[in-house]
Amino acid sequence: MNSFESKPNLYLDIDGVIYPFASDEETEEQERASVPRNEIARRLGSTCLNIVWCSSRSERSVSFTAGTEDMKELGDTRILDTRNVEDTRPWAKRKLEAIRWRITPSYFGEKAIKTWIETKFDAISADQKDNPLPFVWVDDDLNDEITHLVETDFANQPHLLIRPTSTVGISIDELTNIEAFAKRFD
């Protein structure tokens, strides 16, 4: 195994990834693809990856989730602060006020408020700037725009992006892909 400093990071969302969203009609395919949380924790915990919680939840909520019995096998984890990323755009202060008061994005125009996925991207970028490492990012909200930003900004850095189906969470195939990526650095 590599030392802690050189191990790749696994940026892991919670809702829709570890905890799938309820579905009106769960299909057999969804049930087959779904992986129990304790198995996710066991398998990811046995890789050489640094587990980094990257969620829009509060730190207290993430800490609670990380400490649950079914997540204990992940081992040591850290929480990436996605709420206090410096935003240098002039409307940033208004954006934070809008979030606090639950004002819709249209209040400031279409691009005025960053989405949670954009905020997570900024937090990961800041984390990688301080200590660039190979990484996996698993988030059910990954979209084409963010994928393009990652592919552009981290073109020379090994990375893997995984977008689970939010009603399934991490699937067996996605979990296997994460393990294969990790083995490259073991």
Domain map of the chain by residue range?
4-84+117-183
Cβ-based neighbours of 154, under 8 Å, separated by 6 or more:
128, 135
Percentage of the chain lying above the pLDDT 70 cut? 75
Distance from CA of residue 23 to its chain's centroid? 21
Please compute Rg for the chain using Cα positions.
Answer: 17
For the question of whether the overall pTM of this predicted structure is more than 0.85, the answer is: no
pLDDT at 182: 95
SS3 96: helix
Give the bridge partners for 186, in sequence order: none
Cβ-based neighbours of 159, under 8 Å, separated by 6 or more:
134, 135, 136, 137, 150
**Sign of the C-alpha dihedral, residues 143, 66, 58, 129?**
negative
- The structure tokens listed for 47 are 């890789």
For 109-158, the pLDDT digits (tens) are 444 456 778 888 988 998 998 789 999 999 999 999 889 999 999 999 99
Domain spanning 4-84+117-183, CATH architecture: 3-Layer(aba) Sandwich (3.40)
List per-residue pLDDT tens for the chain, 186 residues long: 333 457 899 999 988 888 888 777 766 666 667 788 888 889 999 999 999 988 877 777 777 777 778 778 888 888 887 766 554 444 444 444 444 444 444 444 444 456 778 888 988 998 998 789 999 999 999 999 889 999 999 999 999 999 999 888 999 999 999 999 999 998
Order of strands, sheet of 50-53, starting from the edge strand that comes earlier in the sequence: 77-79, 50-53, 9-12, 135-138, 159-162
SS3 100: helix
